[in-house]
Amino acid sequence: MTPKSQRYLLPFFSLLFLLGGLTAQAQKQKVWLDADTGNETDDVYAIIRLLAEPSVEVLGLSSAHFNNADLVAFDKWNQYPTKAINTVAISQQLNEEILQAMHKEAIAHPLGADRQMGRAWGGTEARPSAASEQLIRTVKGLKPGEFLDVICLGALTNIASAIRIDTSIASRIRLYALGAQYNAQTKVWNKSEFNIRNDLNAFDYLLNHPSVDLRIMPTSTALPYRFARDTIYSKVNPAVVSQRMLKQRWEETNPQDKVRTLWDLALVEVYLLPEKAVLKDVLTPPENRQRFIKVYTQLDPKALTDDFWRVIHQLKN
C-alpha cells in the first residue's frame, strides 16, 4: 500500500469508527423507571444504580404513590407524619434530588398519580397524571421496531393508567414489575403484598390485558437479596453525593435495621444482568385472564451484589 493510499484510508477508517460508535449509542435500550421512592430505603439504591448504567438510555423517572391503610391508622409512616401526607409528592421530591445529585436533570421526571386506579371496590378507570401522559408520548415517539422497557418499583398505577388511556402503546412496552409472591413448586400466586395491595386494580388490569408483555419479580424471589447496614455505611464514599445518599436514606428511613432486603434493587440488577436470574413462563392467577407471563423464580444474590458495588464505586458525583 502506498503512502498516498494510506492517507485516504485513514480518514475512511476513522469515519467507520465514528459511525460504529454512533450506531452503538443509537442501539441503547430505552428505559423508563417508575418508583415509589419515598416509601422506604431501597428505591434510592435502585434508581442510582440504573442511572449509573452506561448500556441503557433512561428516558424517564416518574414518581409513584405509596398509599396504604396504615396512613389512616398510624401517626407516622417511617419518618413521615401521616397527617395530610401526599405520598407521590414525597417520591417526586426524592426523584428530583437524585437527578440533581447525578447531574441528570435533563431526564424527564413527571409527577405520577396520587391514588389507585378505579375505586376501593375495583374498577379499571385510569388515573391520569403527568407521568401517564409523558409515558404515552414517549412510546409514541419510538422508532419502528423499538420498545420501551418500563421498570415499576411500586404500585402500577402510572403504567396501567397510560395503557388504559391509550391501549395502542401496550404492544411497544416490556413491563418489569416488583410485586406479589409466587411459589414455583406449587405454582400458587399470592397478591397480598405491599405494592399490589396499593393498587390491586392496576395489577389485575395488566394481568388481564392480552398485549402487555409482563415480567414479574415476586418479593418471594427477591427476599434473599439482603444488605447489611454496617457494610453499606463502611463502603460508600461520603465525598460523593450519590454514594452519600445511600447511607443517608438508610439512616433516615430504617436506622434500626441491621439487615434489609433491597427489593427494588433486585429487580433493577436482574434487568441489567439477566443471566444472573431465572425467568420462567408462568400462568397468571386463576381469577385473571389465563395467559402466560414471565416470572423471576431465582436470582444470584452474590453476583448481583458484586455488580452493584462495582458500579457504585465508580460514581464521581
On whether residue 101 sits in a domain, the answer given is: yes
On whether residue 20 sits in a domain, the answer given is: no
Q: Which of 20-29, 55-64, 67-76, 121-130 has the lowest mean pLDDT?
A: 20-29
pLDDT greater than 90 at residue 23: no
On whether residue 317 sits in a domain, the answer given is: no
pLDDT greater than 90 at residue 48: yes
pLDDT greater than 70 at residue 238: yes
Query: Which grid cell is 69?
Result: 391503610
DSSP of the chain, one letter per residue?
A: --HHHHHHHHHHHHHHHHHHHHHHHHTSEEEEEEE-TTSSSHHHHHHHHHHT-TTEEEEEEEE-----GGGGTSSEETTEE-TT--HHHHHHHHHHHHHHHTT-TTSB-----SS-SSBTTB-------HHHHHHHHHHHTSPTT--EEEEE-S--HHHHHHHHH-GGGGGGEEEEEE--EEETTTTEEE--SHHHHHTHHHHHHHHH-TT-EEEEE-HHHHTT-EEEHHHHHHHS-TTSHHHHHHHHHHHHH-TT-SEEE-HHHHHHHHHH-GGGEEEEEEEPPTTS---EEEEEEEE-HHHHHHHHHHHHTT---
Task: Return the number of other C-beta atoms located less than 10 Å from residue 226's C-beta.
Answer: 13
Q: Which of 12-16, 48-52, 53-57, 135-139 has the lowest mean pLDDT?
A: 12-16
Mean pLDDT of the chain, nearest integer: 93
- Indicate the number of domains in the chain: 1
Confidence band for 17, pLDDT divided at 50, 70 and 90: very low
**Length of the chain as a residue count:** 317
pLDDT greater than 50 at residue 18: no
Q: Which of 21-30, 60-69, 124-133 has the lowest mean pLDDT?
A: 21-30
Please, how many CA atoms are within 13 Å of residue 160, restricted to the half-sphere of its CB? Answer: 29
Distance, CA of 214 to CA of 208 (rounded, Å): 11
Quote the domain boundaries for residue 54: 29-312
Contact 130, 109 (CB under 8 A): no
Residue 24 has a pLDDT of: 45
Distance, CA of 288 to CA of 196 (rounded, Å): 14
Residues 6+ apart with CB under 8 A from 79: 252, 253
Residue 27 has a pLDDT of: 85
On whether residue 6 sits in a domain, the answer given is: no
pLDDT greater than 90 at residue 113: yes
Burial class (CB in 10 A: 0-12, 13-18, 19+), 74: exposed
Query: Which grid cell is 127?
Result: 388515573
Kindly state the percentage of the chain with pLDDT values over 70. 92
Q: Which of 19-33, 89-103, 164-178 has the lowest mean pLDDT?
A: 19-33
Overall average pLDDT of the 103-119 stretch: 98
- Choose between 94 and 11: higher pLDDT: 94
Distance, CA of 148 to CA of 118 (rounded, Å): 25
Query: What is the rounded (10 degree) CA torsion for 64, 69, 73, 77?
Result: -30
Confidence band for 4, pLDDT divided at 50, 70 and 90: low
Residue 6 has a pLDDT of: 53
On whether residue 45 sits in a domain, the answer given is: yes
Overall average pLDDT of the 164-179 stretch: 98
Distance, CA of 66 to CA of 154 (rounded, Å): 7
Residues 6+ apart with CB under 8 A from 86: 114
Task: Return the number of other C-beta atoms located less than 10 Å from residue 15's C-beta.
Answer: 10
Residue 158 has a pLDDT of: 98
pLDDT in tens, 71-101: 999 999 999 999 999 999 999 999 999 999 9
On whether residue 16 sits in a domain, the answer given is: no
Confidence band for 26, pLDDT divided at 50, 70 and 90: low
pTM of the model: 0.92
Query: Which grid cell is 133?
Result: 401522559
Residue 10 has a pLDDT of: 47
On whether residue 17 sits in a domain, the answer given is: no
**CATH number where 223 lies:** 3.90.245.10
Residue 284 has a pLDDT of: 98
On whether residue 24 sits in a domain, the answer given is: no
